[in-house]
A and B are shown apart, each in its own frame.
Chain A
Amino acid sequence: MATYEECLKIVRDVLGDQLEPGKTADEKDALVADLGMGSLQMLELVVEIEDLLDISLPLNQLPEIQTVEDFARMLESVSAGSSQ
Chain B
Amino acid sequence: MSLFDKFAPLSNLRSDLLEHGILPFGVVTEKILSPTEGIVDGRRTILAGTNNYLGLTFAPECVEAARKALSEEGTGTTGSRMANGTYGAHAALERELAEFFDREHALVFTTGFLATMGMVSTLAGRGDVLLIDADSHASIYDGCRLSGAEVIRFRHNDPKDLDKRLGRLGDRSGNTLVVAEGLYSMLGDQAPLQEIVDVKDKHGAILLLDEAHSMGVFGDRGRGLAEAAEVEDRVDFVVGTFSKSLGSVGGFCVSNHPELELVRMAARSYIFTASPTPSVVASTRAALKMISDHPELRDRLWDNSRQLYDTLARAGFQLGPQPGPVVAVFVDDPKRAVSWWHRLLEQGVYVNLVIPPATPSTSCLLRCSISAAHTREQVDRISEAFVSLLPKRQAAGSAV
Residue of A nearest to B147 (CB): A60
Indicate if A59 sits at the interface (CB-CB under 8 A).
Answer: yes
Indicate if A65 sits at the interface (CB-CB under 8 A).
Answer: no
Segment at the interface with A among B77-85, B151-159, B286-294, B324-332: B151-159
Residue of A nearest to B168 (CB): A56
In the complex, the answer to whether B361 meets A55 with C-beta atoms within 8 Å is no
In the complex, the answer to whether A54 meets B168 with C-beta atoms within 8 Å is yes
Interface flags for B128-153 (1: CB within 8 Å of A; 0: not) read 00000010000000001100001111
Q: Pick from B134, B145, B151, B362: contact of A58, CB below 8 A.
A: B151
In the complex, the answer to whether B165 meets A59 with C-beta atoms within 8 Å is no
What is the CA–CA distance of A57 and B145 in the complex, to the nearest angstrom? 15
Residues of B within 8 A of A47 (CB): 155
In the complex, the answer to whether A60 meets B361 with C-beta atoms within 8 Å is no
Residues of A within 8 A of B21 (CB): none
In the complex, the answer to whether A59 meets B168 with C-beta atoms within 8 Å is no
Size class of A's contact patch? 10 to 19
Residues of A within 8 A of B356 (CB): 40
Q: Pick from A40, A43, A54, A60: contact of B150, CB below 8 A.
A: A60
Interface flags for B260-272 (1: CB within 8 Å of A; 0: not) read 0000000000000
Q: Pick from A43, A54, A56: contact of B152, CB below 8 A.
A: A56
In the complex, the answer to whether B362 meets A82 with C-beta atoms within 8 Å is no
What is the CA–CA distance of A58 and B152 in the complex, to the nearest angstrom? 5
| Least distance between A24 CB and chain B CB atoms (Å) | 24
What is the CA–CA distance of A40 and B151 in the complex, to the nearest angstrom? 18
Residues of A within 8 A of B150 (CB): 58, 60
Residues of B within 8 A of A43 (CB): 134
| Least distance between B161 CB and chain A CB atoms (Å) | 8
| Least distance between A37 CB and chain B CB atoms (Å) | 13
In the complex, the answer to whether B153 meets A59 with C-beta atoms within 8 Å is yes
By CB atoms of chain B within 10 A, which of A38, A39, A60, A82 has the most?
A: A60
Interface flags for B362-378 (1: CB within 8 Å of A; 0: not) read 10000000000000000
Residues of A within 8 A of B362 (CB): 38, 40
What is the CA–CA distance of A38 and B150 in the complex, to the nearest angstrom? 24
Residue of B nearest to A51 (CB): B164
Could you tell me how many residues of chain B have their Cβ less than 8 Å away from some Cβ of chain A?
15
What is the CA–CA distance of A43 and B134 in the complex, to the nearest angstrom? 9
Indicate if B357 sits at the interface (CB-CB under 8 A).
Answer: yes
**CB-contacts of A36-76 with B (<8 A):** 38-40, 43, 47, 54-60
In the complex, the answer to whether B151 meets A60 with C-beta atoms within 8 Å is yes
Residues of A within 8 A of B145 (CB): 60
What is the CA–CA distance of A56 and B130 in the complex, to the nearest angstrom? 12
In the complex, the answer to whether A82 meets B168 with C-beta atoms within 8 Å is yes
Residues of B within 8 A of A60 (CB): 145, 150-151
In the complex, the answer to whether A39 meets B357 with C-beta atoms within 8 Å is yes
What is the CA–CA distance of A54 and B170 in the complex, to the nearest angstrom? 13
Residues of B within 8 A of A38 (CB): 362
Residues of A within 8 A of B357 (CB): 39-40
What is the CA–CA distance of A47 and B153 in the complex, to the nearest angstrom? 9
By CB atoms of chain A within 10 A, which of B151, B153, B169 has the most?
A: B153
What is the CA–CA distance of A55 and B165 in the complex, to the nearest angstrom? 8
With A40-B361, A43-B134 already in contact, the answer to whether A56 and B165 are too (CB < 8 A) is yes
Residue of B nearest to A58 (CB): B150
What is the CA–CA distance of A56 and B152 in the complex, to the nearest angstrom? 7
Residues of B within 8 A of A57 (CB): 152
| Least distance between A45 CB and chain B CB atoms (Å) | 13
| Least distance between B175 CB and chain A CB atoms (Å) | 15
* Apart from A38-B362, A40-B362, A57-B152, 19 more pairs, CB < 8 Å: A39-B357, A40-B356, A40-B357, A40-B361, A43-B134, A47-B155, A54-B168, A56-B152, A56-B165, A56-B169, A58-B150, A58-B152, A59-B144, A59-B151, A59-B152, A59-B153, A60-B145, A60-B150, A60-B151
Could you tell me which A residues sit within 8 Å of B by CB distance?
A: 38-40, 43, 47, 54-60, 82
Can you name 26 A-B residue pairings with CB atoms under 8 Å? A38-B362, A39-B357, A40-B356, A40-B357, A40-B361, A40-B362, A43-B134, A47-B155, A54-B168, A55-B168, A56-B152, A56-B165, A56-B168, A56-B169, A57-B152, A58-B150, A58-B151, A58-B152, A59-B144, A59-B151, A59-B152, A59-B153, A60-B145, A60-B150, A60-B151, A82-B168
Could you tell me which B residues sit within 8 Å of A by CB distance?
A: 134, 144-145, 150-153, 155, 165, 168-169, 356-357, 361-362
